[in-house]
Amino acid sequence: MRIACPLCGERDLREFTYKGAALALAYPSEAASAQEWDDYLHNRDNPAGPTRELWYHGSGCTSWLVVTRNTVTHEILAVELAENAEEASA
């Protein structure tokens, strides 16, 4: 699998580290309930189909990326810098 980093271009998967669902960008407010924090920290869906994921380009530009990937086909549908990504629900 290859990932097209917006800054470096298309690179081998081994240059990147998977860092979990992009849900991590949707940080709860301080007033959030315990259930909201539990969902944020521990509970994840496991959808079949397009998902938004955080990847770190550690062997390249050290950017955090949001990769939209189909978990069934592994096709990468979009890659954007995390700092430009809208908050993701998963």
Residues forming contacts to Zn ion in the complex (CB under 5 A) are 5, 7-8, 57, 60-61
Name the maximum alpha-carbon separation found in the chain. 41
CB of 57 to Zn ion, least distance (A): 4
* Residue 25 phi, psi (nearest 5): -75, -15
What are 88's two structure tokens? Answer: 């993701």
21 vs 55 by CB, closer to Zn ion: 55
52 vs 57 by CB, closer to Zn ion: 57
CB of 40 to Zn ion, least distance (A): 27
Q: CA 15, 23, 67, 2 torsion: positive or negative?
A: positive
CB of 33 to Zn ion, least distance (A): 37
User: How many whole angstroms separate alpha carbon 2 and alpha carbon 90?
Assistant: 21
